Each structure stands twice: as C-alpha cells, then as structure tokens.
Structure 1
C-alpha cells in the first residue's frame, strides 16, 4: 500500500516515451489493479498510450512543450482507488537539453470512499459515463455537471447495475490547466 508521503515519479524522453519509473510508481500500479502494467511493459512506449482521451493527450503535449521551454508546471488532480479518494499534486519539470521531462505526483490528502459506490461491490452495466479526472464533473450529452447533480439527473440510485466510469477532462478544468501552463514561470537558477 502507498504511504501518505510517497512520490510517484516517471520520466519521458524528447519523443514522449516513458524511460523510467520509480518504486512508488510500481507500488501505485499494483495498489490500483493495473493488470498487466509493469515497468517492462511501459518503458520505451509513448506516454499517450496510457492517456484515455484525445483532449487530455493534447493538453499533455502542450504541457510538455511548455516545460521543455524552461517552465515548471504544478497542478492538482483527483485520484481514486477502490478504498480512497486522493488529492494529488503533479510537478512537471525539464531535465535538460535532451528533452527529458520528469513527472512527480505526491499526495496532498486522502479520504475513505463510500463503499456502496465501489465497483467491486456493485455490478456494472455496459454503459460508460465520462468523469473529469480533475474535478469529477460528469459529461451528460456534452454538458459537464457536478456529480451530485448527475446522480439525480440520471437516477443512478435506481440503477440495478451502475455504469462504468471512464476519465477525461472537462472544459472548465481544461481551460484552467491551459491558463496554469501558459502562465508557468521559467525555472529560476539557484
């Protein structure tokens, strides 16, 4: 299990291929049930192979370009497991002239999840709902609404089988991330 003070870290090269992962990354993968995901399977593969939607991929392309230009970018995101919801902070930094970039995620806070919504305890149907990986708004026909509103609008408490969740980024968080990336300060010499 991950310690509260762990720091999940991985590096990509100038072609956006994963070139290293740390031990905390391996524990995180194991704790989150990433079946078949191991360092051997991800190394030298494009990081975009592990991002589920094109909007988030484009955002990361822009972010990496900005970081390679000398900026450090920090942002917060939510991360859920079957037992906990975590607020994480990602720091993305350039590692020099070759275009290598390091991504480090650390936990800011953790809270237990309500078990009745755990997919392991509730059968799921074949439908998918897209949730923003940053704020957890739910995409309903192109409208991103807060999860508590989505539960009521969709009548989720009436479902005998819950829809599965997939992740993306809503237009609000996308705009905020673009602002954060575009205003990132260049690294200061020490």
Structure 2
C-alpha cells in the first residue's frame, strides 16, 4: 500500500491508530466537512486523537464497523464498502476502502464514485427544525425504516410516512437496514448477534 498523503478532490482519507483513535486527516478533509455542514468535524486539531467510536452513535453501525475492522486487521486484506453520503440536493455514493497498516492502524480511503443532483429533500437538511418523532435511516444506503423490517428509499419514505402533512420533520436516528447488513457481512466470519 502506498501511504501517499495527496488525494484528488473526490477522495478523502483518514486513519485510526491501533486503539481506534483518529490519527490522520487528508488535506481536503476540512473542506469536505464544511461542505456537508459538519462544522465541528472541520477543524483537524479538535478531532485528531478522538476515538472513531465517538463519531458513531448507534449500536448497529458500530457493530458493522467493529466487524469490518476486526476482519481487516485479522486478514490484512482490504475491505471495500459502499456508502451514501447524501445532502438535501445531492445523492453521493462513496466507496470506502479500509486497509490495515503495519502498526495496527487502519486507513479509510473514501472516494466519490457517483454524484447525482435531485430535488431538495427536507428530511436530509440538518438545519431544519425537528419534531420529537424519530425515524431510523440506514447509515450506509440512506433508506428509511417505514415499519418493522421494511426500509424504503428516502423519496418513498416521505410519501409513505406523510412527512409533507407534518409541520415539522422527524429526527433521524441511524441504523443499518437488513440489505446493507447482509451485503457488508456476506464474506465475514462473525458472531450472528443481529
């Protein structure tokens, strides 16, 4: 693996050390964080040294990342996952390659593989006022749970859950839909807890 610190404008790199603390951010990290309304994550000296787990709130997503990191460190084979990093007016698909390094560190290289414009989707706008209601959104594909076990695309969820009839938009809680869980863990040997 080449440890080249340069990235093109559509690739973002961060590394965690063997204790899962952030140890490196690519030069374009701050710009990317600001463009995605992640102001608190845009200042490297405020996040370097912090645990990766302090940025992942929900159990399901933590579990997936724990499985993947364990597998990468054990096999020394890179793992590649796709993740949607959507904004209210853009659909962005990233490919994240996680590569073990010699010292137990892991490098995450996120590359934009697709960007599509779309009509504004209010539920994805972090600046809107939220109700007390909570809906679960998949951390990887951005589908929304509309009932037990049923996850649908964001636009469909807006219709099914009648968000337009509500004055305020519900809060989003992250999780992992069954399709993403199955896809990401298909080749792994892991305890079947979910």
Cα deviation for residue 153 of structure 1 reads 3.1
The two structures have a TM-score, normalised by structure 2, of 0.81
The two structures have a TM-score, normalised by structure 1, of 0.83
Q: Could you say what secondary structure the match of 1:36 adopts?
A: helix
Q: Could you say what secondary structure the match of 2:38 adopts?
A: coil
Equivalent position to 2:144, from 138, 143, 146: 138
Equivalent position to 2:22, from 12, 15, 18: 18
Cα deviation for residue 123 of structure 1 reads 4.4
Give the length in aligned residue pairs.
Answer: 179
Unaligned runs of at least 5 residues, structure 1:
183-190
Q: Distance in 1 between matches of 2:17 and 2:127?
A: 40
CA contact (8 A) 1:129 1:164 kept: yes
Other-structure match for 1:8: 12
Counterparts in 2 of 1:120 and 1:39: CA distance versus 1, 3 Å: closer
Other-structure match for 2:160: 153
Other-structure match for 1:186: none
Equivalent position to 2:182, from 157, 162, 175: 175
Counterparts in 2 of 1:40 and 1:84: CA distance versus 1, 3 Å: same
Q: Distance in 2 between matches of 1:124 and 1:113?
A: 22
Other-structure match for 2:4: none
Counterparts in 2 of 1:23 and 1:30: CA distance versus 1, 3 Å: same
Other-structure match for 2:100: 94
User: CA RMSD for the aligned pairs?
Assistant: 2.3
Q: Distance in 1 between matches of 2:176 and 2:184?
A: 10
Range moving further from structure 2, 166-175 or 133-142: 133-142
CA contact (8 A) 2:9 2:28 kept: no
Cα deviation for residue 159 of structure 1 reads 1.6
Alignment of 1:35-114 (within 5 A): 35-37=39-41, 38-69=43-74, 70-96=76-102, 98-114=103-119
Unaligned runs of at least 5 residues, structure 2:
1-6, 190-194
Q: Distance in 1 between matches of 2:68 and 2:40?
A: 28
1:163 aligns with 2:170: yes
CA contact (8 A) 1:9 1:102 kept: yes
Q: Could you say what secondary structure the match of 1:58 adopts?
A: helix
